Amino acid sequence: MKTRMRRTWTTRTAYLGVLSMLAVGLLYPLGAARAYAQLVQLPRVAVLNFENKSGYGGASIARAATDAVAGEYQKSGKFEVLARGEIEQQLRDLDLALPLDKTGFLRLGRTLQTESLITGEVNAVNFVGSPKQAQVVITVRVIDIASGEPINGAVATGFSNRRPGYTGDDDTLVQEAIRNAAFEAVRIINNYTIPEATILTTRAGQEVLLNRGIRGGLQPGMEMIVVRRGEEVGRIRVTQVSDSDAVGEIIDFGRGIQSEDRARAVFRVPTVEVKAGRVVTERPRQRGEGNKLLRALGPILIIGLIAFGVARGSSGGNTPVQSVLAEAGADGNFEPFVRVSWKTTLFAKSAPDTIQWQIFRSDFIGTDGNGNLQPVGVTPGNQNFFVDTTVARTFSYASLPREGSEDLELEEIDPAPGVAAGRSYTYQLALVYRERIDAEGQTVILYKLSDRVRSGQATVLLPVQLLTPVQRSEDVDPKDVRFSWLAAEGANAYRVEVSLDPTFQDRNRTFVSPEILSTAVGGSPVSTERINLETGLLNRLGLTGQRVTLYWRVGSRNLGDNPGPIPGPGGLRYVWSRPFEFTTQELPPSP
């Protein structure tokens, strides 16, 4: 009996040991995951109280916007969002009052142990449409504490969901519109990569060389803060950009800029005004783009030109390109631009001493002291594209005193205006090159300007603003959807795309509407007829009756453009809007 009891006890002990080991094996990963999560320190975000500039609702609207933005940051899982009480307590302890100045941002940021602070305002609260919807516009800024300057931000519009027959109070609609605007603003901010670079070296206290270029998001004219150990030590403005590095001029030497200092771009947040009851967003122009390539390399170029010649191509003329394309588009931040590109002829390809391409625009028709038409931009002779943005730019260009001149003068444009949304332009392109002529034992060096080649028309278009279905709508009937948006100034043709792919790259899972022609003026509503997405998209994917999330966007173009905007997925030439998303109803199977 005793022996049997010992065996039973031994068996139970063995069982318990095995179970304990199994429990440890199962639970260890969970504990390890929690421990790892605690070790990974998320960036700290402090959302300061917003201002209410809308004239509607007072402080409660500002507080709702603050909480909505903080909530969206929290839901992203990428940040540690500080509690409102902690922020307010530190403001009291530091004897600071909103809005903060540069010193206030620095003191509060250091106390809260965060590199940036979130500020913003509610710009407008309107009621539109029937049934009535609330429209809220908010501005969100991410402030760098070292400089007190924005390094990220967004202006976003949110609409309340459509409620046919709704009889509730307006505040409910406004609160919903605020949440949708906050969602869109934080999405834009999180999708933007702040251009940053390291200073490799300084040049005579006037310029710096940066280790990032076009691929790192740097652009000519971009102003950057230079930071060392969390404090601003100076400022630079980018003047020249290649794929992998850039040159910037020092505009504020401050406390001395050194190698290994970090530079990050100042973000130009659009301004919002309400004019005659209409919300107008104005994108600020940066200071002139400093294309100082000719100025910096001018002496080197002129000395170098003495050593090399140019042979005229076998084409026999001096037409440098086969064709010039001007195509409208929008960048990653949905800012409009025109890309001018060209294919060179044998003449240009056989000319090793191509000095610069000069780009002329139909609205910029001034002449210089030598009687030459002034270009709106220039690029190096080995480049075959130019991007014309809304930003004014300063640059130097080669001006010839006469055709076949032995001299080349550098003239400065300060500044050339950028393009304007809603306007159509044509471009011309010419090449400045050098030709060597040998006669009677003498070599004569002549500078020449090629024939100008014209592009087709390109219209600068702001991406349209989507209306319905509103952002993140739920229970939308896929058999009966009407899409609506606000017309883009300068556009007269639109197309709607709906996809299960948020990038719209997968064309097999994307519905494309017929082209919609409209002469509506900018800001006026445009809509489709009722669209059955069940037959147009879901049936062929085997998703009929299921609840799915769909993404939609609208492309715009001007029918007079040739060849039209930069082609997107599927080769369609449109300027595409930011996407909205909605969820369809889950429907019972057909009887």
pLDDT of 475: 93
Question: Contact 428/452 with Cβ under 8 angstroms?
Answer: yes
**394 within 8 A of 295, measured Cβ to Cβ:** no
Cross-strand partners of 576: 555
pLDDT at 243: 77
Residue 32 belongs to what H/E stretch? helix 2-39
Note the pLDDT of residue 301. Answer: 40
CATH topology of domain 44-191: Rossmann fold (3.40.50)
**C-alpha–C-alpha distance, residues 36 and 298, integer Å:** 56
Alpha carbons 32 and 52: distance in angstroms, whole number: 45
pLDDT at 283: 57
C-alpha 469/C-alpha 437 separation (Å) is 68
d(CA 581, CA 589): 24
Contacts with 113 (C-beta within 8 Å, 6 or more apart), sequence order: 44
* Nearest Cα residue to 450 out of 582, 337, 355: 355
**What pLDDT does residue 36 have?**
42
pLDDT at 287: 45
Give CATH superfamily name and number for 465-584.
Answer: Immunoglobulins (2.60.40.10)
Rounded to 10 degrees, the C-alpha dihedral 175/181/186/187 comes to: 130
Alpha helices in 132-289 (DSSP H): 170-191
Per-10-residue mean pLDDT of the chain, 591 residues long, equals 39 48 46 45 89 90 94 89 92 91 88 90 88 90 88 89 81 92 90 87 85 85 88 90 86 87 87 67 49 40 37 51 93 92 81 83 88 91 91 90 75 91 95 76 78 93 95 94 96 96 93 94 93 93 93 96 92 95 83 58
Q: Which CATH architecture has domain 196-266?
A: Beta Barrel (2.40)
Q: Which residue has the tokens 């003495």?
A: 306
**Are the beta carbons of 395 and 415 closer than 8 angstroms?**
no
Per-residue pLDDT, 151 = 87
pLDDT for position 147? 83
Question: CA 61, CA 58: separation in Å to the nearest integer?
Answer: 6
Reference 341, options 15, 567, 54, 163; nearest CA is 567
Helices (H), 288-421: 293-305, 346-349
Instruction: Note the Cα 436 to chain centre separation in Å.
Output: 45
Q: Side chain identity at 117, as an amino acid letter?
A: L
Query: Which amino acid does the sequence have at 210?
Result: L
Q: At residue 26, what is the residue type?
A: L
Q: How far apart are CA 552 and CA 555, in angstroms?
A: 10
**How far lies 85's CA from each of 81, 116, 370, in Å?**
12, 18, 67
